[in-house]
Amino acid sequence: MSGIASLELRGLVKRFGGLLATDHVSVTIAEGELFALIGPNGAGKSTLIGQIAGELMPDEGEILIGDQSITGWGVVARARSGLGRTFQIAQTIDAFTTLESVVLSRRSGSLSPTGFFAPLLGDKEILDIARETLNVVGLGELTQLRVDRLSHGERKQLELAMALVRQPRVLLLDEPMAGMSPGESETMAQLLSELRGKCTIVLIEHDMDVVFKLADRIGVLASGALIAIGSADDIRNNPLVRASYLGEEEIT
Amino acid sequence: MTTLIITQVLNGLQFGLMLFLIATGLTLILGIMDFVNLAHGSLYMMGAYATATLVAKGMGFFPALLGGVLATFAVGVVIEVVVVRKLYRRDHLDHVLATFGIILAFNEVVRIIWGPVGLTFDPPEQFADSVDLLGFTYPAYRLLVIGMISLVGAGLWWLVTRTRIGMQIRAGATHPEIVSALGVNIRALKTTLFALGAALAAFSGALIGPLRSVQPGMGEEVLIQALVVIIVGGIGAIRGALVAGILLGLLDTLGRAFLPLMISRFANPEVAQAVGPALASMMIYLTMALVLVFKPAGLLPATGK
């Protein structure tokens, strides 16, 4: 279960009525690759993410983690098979401390019946792993703080810690910098660059500077289709990409 | 007089803890799953009947109690899977209609199986008598009830606030997306919580069995009182249910014992005899009305979900 794995999308199609929200998307994201997905608003990023996460089922096509097809699987089964994720709007649990959140994340998904009734914070080994992970994301000093006292940026960091502590084989990051202050963004960018190579990452992010700096490859989504895949330079110089972004924002 | 007061306070405490235990299953299901379960009283009745039947078959009180609770847990699982699960996304009116249907069905089934006449069963032998308590006597079984509910209440608090399943249940209620993304099966979690509520109701029903008679419809009266406890304590709050349960239990019991006496001080005995009990039985509802006016969220609402 541990270790990292590739993520492969094969000819994914998703229709909403007459709208083709995902238009035959195929891409293989290699083990340890940081793959960024960009595209103007309404390009179908959320729909594609939903299909990878298991919230939406594709109408056609296949999704594989490593050699394993997970196409028909639900959210829970995908999580158990090693898919980790963060959300566009940080999903953290106000009433818990940061440490409790991370421990809960680490221990969830295990099915041992006795474990259910064990005290959450009873296992020292897991506590150490959780503290270490909080350290990694920069929350090492705040283990006893209740989540509702955290700043927006810290919540995003916590969410990342909750995903990382499960040692995901594939990690889905849905706009990790959304709504962050410049300082917070920088911390997060630093963190992501440290994760490079340790984890297969799909990154959705509006901050183009970060995307161009961090991503091994970038995929550009427009009207549901992947219109370009390539390195930062390839994408910058691609006329098709420029055209699809017209009126959106300048790609520098 | 002092003895009478102490006895009545203990009675009130015992009744209050009982109310707490019944209300707590209801309040967890309402607060965490946002589901209105009117059938809670029926599960209470089910626990009482199952335990009474096992005792009648010659089982000891405690094994029968455990059997009754486990049987009702299983019934809770079935009800959740067959009926309740389909209703979470609907509004409260649908919850009320469906679970009211379950009440009617349960009462009828109980009449068919056990007949319209109530059952009775005895407390465990070791607790059948009264004990000497600092110079006055008190039924040992009522003390046992106070002790057992305190233990179960403490265990429940620990389960919900400290254990992994409790944390998952609380997290899953407010943040189902993230909890699913962590690989937790929310559906199974909800089934477990519903069945846990059923088991708590059954436990109260079984405990009350030796004190009152076990009969069809016994769940409805208690359901109303439990709803009052929830409203007074604050929806979803175990602590609130504890405080409100004890408060209302004391008010009700002491009111019934002493209001007629107090009224007779300044009115003629006939009036006191008429007004006293009537006023006493209204006490908990009056309290609820006051709480609704001055603290609509309840005395100790659940904080920071």
Question: How many residues make up chain A in this entry?
Answer: 252
Q: How far is A78 from chain B (nearest CA, A)?
A: 7
Token pair of B22 as six digits: 């019944």
Closest alpha carbon within chain B to A79: B183
Predicted ipTM?
A: 0.76
Tell me the per-residue pLDDT of B257-287, one tens digit each, with 9 for 90 and over. Answer: 888 888 888 778 787 777 888 888 888 899 9
Every domain of chain B and the residues it spans = 2-294
Between CA A76 and CA A220 the distance in angstroms is 28
On the question of pLDDT at B304 being above 50, the answer is no
Q: What is the pLDDT confidence band of residue A29, given thresholds at 50, 70 and 90?
A: very high
Q: How far is A86 from chain B (nearest CA, A)?
A: 8
| Overall average pLDDT of the A110-128 stretch | 74
pLDDT on residue A248: 52
Q: Is residue A187 a part of any domain in this protein?
A: yes
On the question of pLDDT at A71 being above 70, the answer is yes
On the question of pLDDT at B298 being above 80, the answer is yes
> What CATH number is associated with residue A99?
3.40.50.300
pLDDT on residue A113: 59
Tell me the per-residue pLDDT of A123-169, one tens digit each, with 9 for 90 and over. Answer: 888 888 899 999 888 888 888 888 888 888 889 999 999 999 988 99
Number of domains in chain A: 1
pLDDT on residue B305: 41
Q: In what order do the strands lie in the sheet with A200-204?
A: A83-86, A170-174, A200-204, A34-38, A217-222, A225-230
| Contact between residue B40 and residue B222 where contact means Cβ atoms under 8 Å apart | no
Residue B34 CB coordination number (10 Å): 14
Tell me the per-residue pLDDT of A210-246, one tens digit each, with 9 for 90 and over. Answer: 889 899 999 999 889 999 899 888 888 888 887 777 5
Closest alpha carbon within chain B to A168: B182
| Overall average pLDDT of the A5-34 stretch | 92
Q: Kindly provide the b/e burial profile for residues B232-245, where b requires at least 16 CB atoms within 10 angstroms of the residue's own CB.
A: bbbbbbbbbbbbbb
Token pair of B60 as six digits: 């000891």
* Candidate from A76, A148, A162 with C-beta closest to B180: A76
pLDDT on residue A153: 87
CATH 1.10.10 matches B2-294: no
Closest alpha carbon within chain A to B302: A95
The answer to whether residue A100 neighbours chain B at the CB level (below 8 Å) is yes
Across the A:B interface, residue pairs with CB atoms under 8 Å apart total 83
Question: Model-level pTM?
Answer: 0.82
Window B:138-177, CB contacts with A under 8 Å: 159, 162-168, 170-171, 174-175, 177
On the question of pLDDT at B293 being above 80, the answer is yes
Tell me the per-residue pLDDT of B96-114, one tens digit each, with 9 for 90 and over. Answer: 999 999 999 999 999 999 9
Q: What is the pLDDT confidence band of residue A3, given thresholds at 50, 70 and 90?
A: confident
Tell me the per-residue pLDDT of B213-230, one tens digit each, with 9 for 90 and over. Answer: 888 888 888 899 999 999
**Domain residues for A235?**
7-244
Please state the separation of Cα B160 from the chain's center in Å: 17
Window A:174-233, CB contacts with B under 8 Å: none
CB contact under 8 A, B182 and A104: yes
SS3 content of chain A, % helix, strand, coil (to 5): 35, 25, 35
Q: How far is A109 from chain B (nearest CA, A)?
A: 4
On the question of pLDDT at A61 being above 80, the answer is yes
pLDDT on residue A9: 93
Q: What is the pLDDT confidence band of residue B184, given thresholds at 50, 70 and 90?
A: confident
| Overall average pLDDT of the B288-300 stretch | 89
Tell me the per-residue pLDDT of A91-109, one tens digit each, with 9 for 90 and over. Answer: 888 888 899 899 988 888 6
Q: Is residue A249 a part of any domain in this protein?
A: no
Tell me the per-residue pLDDT of A33-44, one tens digit each, with 9 for 90 and over. Answer: 999 999 888 888
Between CA A203 and CA A7 the distance in angstroms is 13
Query: If DSSP codes are grouped into helix, strand and coil, which group holds residue B222?
Result: helix
Average pLDDT over chain A, rounded to an integer: 86
Q: Is residue A107 a part of any domain in this protein?
A: yes
| Contact between residue B229 and residue B242 where contact means Cβ atoms under 8 Å apart | no
